[in-house]
Amino acid sequence: MSQSSAPSADKPFLRVLAGEAVWPPPVWLMRQAGRYLPEYLETRRTAGSFLDLCYNPELAVEVTLQPLRRYGFDAAILFSDILVIPHALGQDLAFRQGEGPVLDALKTEDDLAKLDVGRVLDHLRPVLETVGGLAKAIPDTTALIGFAGAPWTVATYMIEGGGSKDFAKTKAWAYGRPDLFERLIDTLVQATGDYLIAQIDAGAEAVQIFDTWAGALPEADFRRWVVAPIGRLTRRIQTERPGIPVIGFPRGAGLLYPDFVRDTGVTAVSLDTSLPCGWAAEAIQPLAVTQGNLDPIHVVVGGAALDAATDHVLKTLGGHRPHVFNLGHGIVPQTPPENVARLMDRVRNAPRPGSV
């Protein structure tokens, strides 16, 4: 059953998603669990491969909690990966050291027909078990975020067989065989919707949909392959699990961010690093709660430049409108952990904009 309830009064992250301007803003960081933490590397060594870690509820709970212990973030994000969906649909997947993900690329209509939505939740049972374990283990004031990749971004990995610079193969399907590509997107909307609802039922209090490669598409295709599928997912969650906030992350969407927000109906939107905060305050904050958008490289470099960049985000986006402090993309492995502590200090002790 759904565990949805009124936003807990003592979870600042959920209060902001419900539309309240909380000060100081709640903070969490995309990819907050991971290789920049020595304790993650240690757990990862005992787990075996990265995928073994994703499918080991006990260890996945542990690595999710590690950054909370150090920094007291306002939200925990389930430790998993966006590529468990293709894996659950039956596609071969491996993470090779230093190479990133490698998938057995979809090439033909037959490959598409083999994808099996029926086995997804069964395959992902360990991940749902991790969500359940986290719901019990996190502090009372911390919110639990579930997540999935957006259909477009996940489709790029499925068709390219891994990362890509130009998405040429995926675009060949999307532009040249939209009938086929639509079938893949429909499969992903179904599987991803089932998965997110199951995460909510296991205890996730909000969900984030990562569309990392949204910025690769021209306008008409952005509307068709980014906005429409995320809109379908959002409406399904709002209908079947009302009250659960949905955060969209259409990375690189630029001027199309406001249309993305309006046409998908997301509760909140994660702003990427390239988006000017002043523009976002005017064009996006009247439409939805915002999250973001410090450059992760500022956290690598640290020092006075990090302080100034943090203050800029706080001043332009925080204070009078509901905003969640975050990065504009995931934290990178070379980040010194002490710089994250410095950032947290700066956010937690920031004077409210407008107050003297």
- Residues 178-217: x where in contact with ligand CP3 by CB under 6 A, - otherwise, as a string: --------------------------------x-x-----
Q: Per the residue annotation, which of 15, 31, 236, 346 is the catalytic one? A: 31
Q: Is position 224 annotated as part of the catalytic site?
A: no
How far is it, in rounded angstroms, from Cα 82 to Cα 211? 10
Q: Is position 175 annotated as part of the catalytic site?
A: no
How far is it, in rounded angstroms, from Cα 158 to Cα 150? 12
For helices 303-317 and 337-348, what crossing angle results, to 10°?
A: 40
Question: From the CB of 257, what's the least distance to ligand CP3, in Å?
Answer: 17
Does residue 147 touch ligand CP3 according to CB under 6 A?
yes
Question: Would you mind telling me the total number of residues written for the chain in this entry?
Answer: 356
Q: Is position 348 annotated as part of the catalytic site?
A: no
Which stretch in 29-37, 239-247, 257-265, 343-351 sits in contact with ligand CP3 by CB under 6 A? Answer: 29-37
Q: Per the residue annotation, which of 44, 232, 241, 251 is the catalytic one? A: 44
Reference 85, options 210, 224, 176; nearest CA is: 210
Residue in the block written with tokens 């990562």:
210
How many chain residues touch ligand CP3 (CB under 6 A)?
21
How far is it, in rounded angstroms, from Cα 247 to Cα 291? 9
Does residue 31 touch ligand CP3 according to CB under 6 A?
yes
Q: Is position 81 annotated as part of the catalytic site?
A: yes
Neighbouring CB atoms inside 10 A of 129's CB total: 17
Q: Per the residue annotation, which of 36, 40, 81, 251 is the catalytic one? A: 81
How far is it, in rounded angstroms, from Cα 179 to Cα 160? 18
Question: From the CB of 330, what's the least distance to ligand CP3, in Å?
Answer: 4
Question: Which listed residue (38, 48, 72, 163) binds ligand CP3 by CB under 6 A?
Answer: 163
Helices (H) and strands (E) in the chain, counts: 18, 9
Say if residue 33 carries a ligand binding annotation: yes
Report which DSSP code applies to 243.
T
Q: Which positions make up the binding site for substrate?
A: 31-35, 81, 157, 212, 329
Query: Could you list the residues that contact ligand CP3 (CB under 6 A)?
Result: 30-35, 44, 50, 77, 79, 81-83, 95, 100-101, 147, 163, 210, 212, 330
